[in-house]
Structure 1
Amino acid sequence: MDRLVEGFNTLSDWITTTVFYAVPLFGTEVPLIVLWLVIAGGFFTVWFGFMQFRGPKLAIDLVRGKYSDPDDAGEVSHFQALATAVSGTVGLGNIAGVAIAISLGGPGATFWMILAGLLGMATKMAECTLGVKYRRVREDGSVSGGPMYYLQYGLAERGMAGFGKVLAVIFAICMVGGSLGGGNMFQSNQATSQIIGVTGGEDSIFAGAPWIVGLIFAALAGAVIIGGIKSIARVTEKVVPFMAILYVLACLIVLGANLGSIPSAFGSIVSGAFSPDGVAGGLIGVLIIGFQRAAFSNEAGLGSASVAHSAVKTNEPATEGFVAMLEPFIDTVVICTMTALAIIISGAWDDPDAESIGGVGLTSRAFESVMPWFPYVLAVAVVLFAFSTMISWSYYGMKALGYMFGDSVLAESIYKGIFLIFTVVGSAAALGPVINFSDSMIFLMGIPNLIGLYLLATVVRREVLGYYDRVQRGEVKQYSHH
């Protein structure tokens, strides 16, 4: 057994080093995968004519159902698809990741995080439009879609069938790995440690048996995921708005208690973004920390959200591109910025022990400065964030496995069972190597996904701009069923 664990750790280290390979730039190490994602965001921003600044009104109209035909093929509404995808990305990265970014890069990292979020809106638009365009609708009305399908069928249309199939299989394997690790074990592990923390720490009834929390999580997750995307969407459309509002309200209370400091906090974000120690190395360092955290948080370019968005009821692929564009905005521009402001205003980021306190601890400290009982609210938020991320990623992993095994019901059922076992294991295990491995898997998804997006760039631009122009000319039918 020890030899097996040692082998896994060695493999995990090798994959992590390879995926997050860094090149020196202006005296700072820059992970190539982060550059890969950010450049794609810049490219699609220009390619779509800055649609993330022109299209939000249309996106909101679509979420409200203004252009939704109830008879279109698909399983969920635009709002449910958005809620499911947001629940997959709004997670511990928004609470812990932001705190880590600021403790490493100072307040200036927030500026670059917001910029990366805005660029990510264009990438998300591209991958979710293609997800709907190349999805497969089964006879029973259920839908399978996502990068696996546009890599295979989209590239086949362009005469690259073999290459597309290889990219699709690589993507699917990485998505299964990522769903079991970062999308499940990590979530269950962090939520368990929060629950133990607020129920007495070392004296908690769960301290000696954390797997009990894992079992409870597995039972709750199982009850939701057995019903597939419709059941997941019904839960996420209620949980996501609730957890986002709860968390943003808590942030606003901290900001309200420090109203006078808000202008100087914004000042330090802007000045820190452009003049850290007045050297290029510092600037690039802060920029990379901000970009990296945004990529970790909103997953733009990794293709995961495209799987959830593919299930939407629509006959117009671009509609879901517009809706998906809102996701990095909610995740990074709103929720991450709120966390950052709370941490900066309360001064928690400046703690000399910031690194040893850890991300969730730092955020908790920022809130405690205003409300001593706040760790309980944070614990509820962490548990909800973790749970909603788990149920979304269970669907992603199931669809990736379904792609490889011909959408067989048996394969999907076996996957669900394995997923729930991993939930229990995650609650009790030491996760260092597992997290490195699953982070690598999740980021590896970005390589085949973005190759596909670039090769299908003309197709996706035709869909997006064509639909936008038709709406502007009043040629798209409106519905009044909402």
Structure 2
Amino acid sequence: MAAEEDTPGGFVGALDSVFSQLVDVLNRILFFEIAGFPLIVLWLICGSIFFTLRMGFINIRGLKHAIDIVRGRYDDPNDDGEVSHFQALATALSGTVGLGNIAGVAIAVQTGGPGAVLWMTLGGFFGMSSKFTECSLSQKYRRVKADGSVAGGPMYYIARPLSDKGLRPVGKGLAGLFAILCIGASFGGGNMFQSNQAYAAVSNVVPGIPSWIFGIVVAAIVGIVIIGGLSRIASITGSLVPLMAVVYILSCLWIILSNFTEIPGAIATIFTGAFSPQAIGGGFLGVLIQGIRRSAFSNEAGVGSAAIAHSAARTDEPLREGLVALLEPLIDTIIICNMTALVIVITGTYQDSSIDDGVLLTTASFATVAEWFPVILAIAVALFAFSTMISWSYYGERAWEYLYRIYEASEFGANAYLR
């Protein structure tokens, strides 16, 4: 059996071939280039700029009010919903603050050069408006069940408005497609990638751990959390996200301040690389694409995933939750991702071509301060991965539930348990 699986014609080889072909097709569609710019990246950044201008720079005007909402100033326990504004924000952040902030940023800097950091930051700034828009819509079109639980997200704000305009088949089709892709993402980037990169970081400081044992332990812990539903997920992320963010930011600040004299040079390198990039990143366009792509992958603005978490917030004002959501790219990209980028640029490890793994590149940067510092990074990576996995498991579950609702409605012609 083992010999059969190891051969190209075995089960594993066949499965790998199928997935490789599927991924290749999706890559050709999603990253179809227009004048050298991937269509999906162009779509996300143009959309975020449009929303920023259309909403009158809500990403600046709404910051203070957003903080007041998160602090509970406008909370009403009688409003429909399952979690508080803060818990919804923490749950969504736990899904975005993951290995993209560590491994992804490192690869972006190494591939596109330090200049990619500036475009990543601008992508995060404009992405705040996209988050505001999609999460406001998720609140507006959510469904509250008879038991008080909530079903919401892009599946609902895609289907219902189009149905109201007489385009029900189109709305249902697009919503169903999103749900299918969301389920795929929950397995791929939301879980497999996180577990893989977490193992790479942990095994680097604690060698000898079998990968399958690590995977089983992580799966068991994640399973225990998600079985408890959104309330348990929100409770865990509400404590875990602030802790891991503070630990990681302080660690990065330690490295940055330890190389205090290099800070001006690093900032100059970032701006110089952004507007006069070296050929390493494929010229100006290559640097721009790397930065914007990393921003989109990191904060998921415009992707729709966070809207699923924010739809469950306890409020009767959709725009309030939209304002809360715009804090995500600020925390995720503008603060945490920039911390990683500064550490890598200041220490100069991005110039080491022998390291082609994002986590290991960041680990090398941490090791420049002290030999034991990579241990802190390994802990941060494990926490980041764990938090992302539990949130994306919830997203996948909600998407699966939506598909089941479509099936049930078509089978029985009703969805009476919604009100």
When normalised by structure 1's length, the TM-score is: 0.80
**What is the alpha-carbon distance in structure 1 between the residues aligned to residue 16 and residue 252 of structure 2?**
41
Instruction: Specify the alignment match of 1:387 in structure 2.
Output: 386
Provide the C-alpha distance between the structure 2 equivalents of 1:3 and 1:307, rounded to a whole number of angstroms: 34
Instruction: Determine the structure 2 residue equivalent to 1:397.
Output: 396
Q: Which residue matches 1:378?
A: 377
Instruction: Give the deviation of 1:278 after TM superposition.
Output: 9.8
User: How big is each residue's C-alpha offset from its partner over 1:248-272, in whole Å with a ceiling of 9 and x where there is no partner?
Assistant: 0000000110112112211111121
Query: 1:252: which partner in 2?
Result: 253
Deviations 1:176-230 (A, max 9, x none): 1111111111112222232222212xxx1x23xx211111111111111011111
Say whether the 8 Å CA contact 2:159–2:172 is kept in structure 1. Answer: yes
Closer/same/farther in 2, CA of residues 37 and 405 from structure 1, 3 Å limit? same
Superposition RMSD in Å: 1.8
Deviation at 1:12, TM superposition (A): 2.4
Q: Where does the alignment leave 5 or more consecutive residues of structure 2 unmatched?
A: 1-10, 409-419
Contact 1:402 1:408 in 2 (8 A): no
Determine if contact 1:225/1:394 at 8 Å carries over to the other structure: yes
Aligned counterpart, 2:240: 239
Residues 364, 378 of structure 1: 8 Å contact kept:
yes
In the TM superposition, 1:107-146 aligns within 5 A as 107-146=114-153
For the 8 Å contact 1:113–1:294, the answer to whether it is kept is yes
1:111-161 Cα shifts (integer Å, max 9, x gaps):
000000001000111100000100001111110100001111122233322
Q: Which amino acid aligns with 2:309?
A: A
Indicate the residue corresponding to 1:36 in structure 2: 43
**Contact 1:55 1:322 survives alignment (8 Å):** yes
Give CA deviations for 1:268-292 in whole Å, capped at 9, x if unaligned. Answer: 1112111225999622211111001
Separation in 2, partners of 1:123, 1:86: 15
Matched residue of 1:406: which SS? helix
Equivalent residue, structure 1, for 2:22: 11
- 1:351 matched residue in structure 2: 352
Aligned to 2:316, what secondary structure does the other structure show? coil
Report 1:81-480 matches (<5 A).
81-200=88-207, 204=208, 206-207=209-210, 210-277=211-278, 282-354=283-355, 356=356, 358-406=357-405
Q: Could you tell me whether the CA contact under 8 Å between 1:155 and 1:164 is conserved in 2? A: yes
Structure 1, unpaired ranges of 5+: 410-482
Match of 1:61 among 35, 60, 68: 68
Separation in 2 of the partners of 1:11 and 1:85? 28
Q: Match of 2:140, as an amino acid? A: K
Query: Could you say what secondary structure the match of 1:361 adopts?
Result: helix
Q: TM-score, normalised by structure 2?
A: 0.91
Q: Which amino acid counterpart does residue 16 of structure 1 have in structure 2?
A: N
How far 1:9 sits from its partner (Å)? 2.2
One-letter amino acid matched to 1:348: T
**CA–CA distance in structure 2, aligned partners of residues 314 and 147 of structure 1:** 18
CA distance in 1: counterparts of 2:336 and 2:212, whole angstroms: 30
Question: For residues 287 and 87 of structure 1, do their structure 2 counterparts lie closer, same or farther at Cα, with a shift above 3 Å needed?
Answer: same
2: CA distance, partners of 1:272 / 1:133: 42
Match of 2:4 in 1: none
Structure 1 distance, partners of 2:100, 2:318, is: 29
Change over 3 Å in CA distance of 1:401–1:278 after alignment to 2: closer
**SS of 2:400's equivalent?**
helix
- Tell me which residue corresponds to 1:74: 81
Aligned partners of 1:390 and 1:280: how far apart in 2? 31
Residue 369 of structure 1 aligns with an amino acid whose one-letter code is: T
What is the distance in 2 between the residues matched to 1:352 and 1:304?
34
Q: Is the CA contact 2:112–2:282 (under 8 Å) kept in the aligned structure 1?
A: no
How far apart are residue 312 of structure 1 and its match? 0.2
User: Does the aligned pair in 1 maintain the 2:87–2:235 contact within 8 Å?
Assistant: yes
1:122 and 1:389 map into 2 onto residues whose CA distance is: 22
1:454 equivalent in structure 2: none
Kept in 2, the 8 Å contact 1:74–1:311? The answer is yes
How far off is 1:407 after superposition?
A: 9.0
Deviation at 1:20, TM superposition (A): 1.8
1:374 corresponds to which letter in structure 2?
F
Contact 1:114 1:333 (C-alpha < 8 Å) held by counterparts: yes
SS in 1 for 2:326: helix
Q: Does the residue aligned with 2:37 lie in a helix, a strand or coil? A: strand
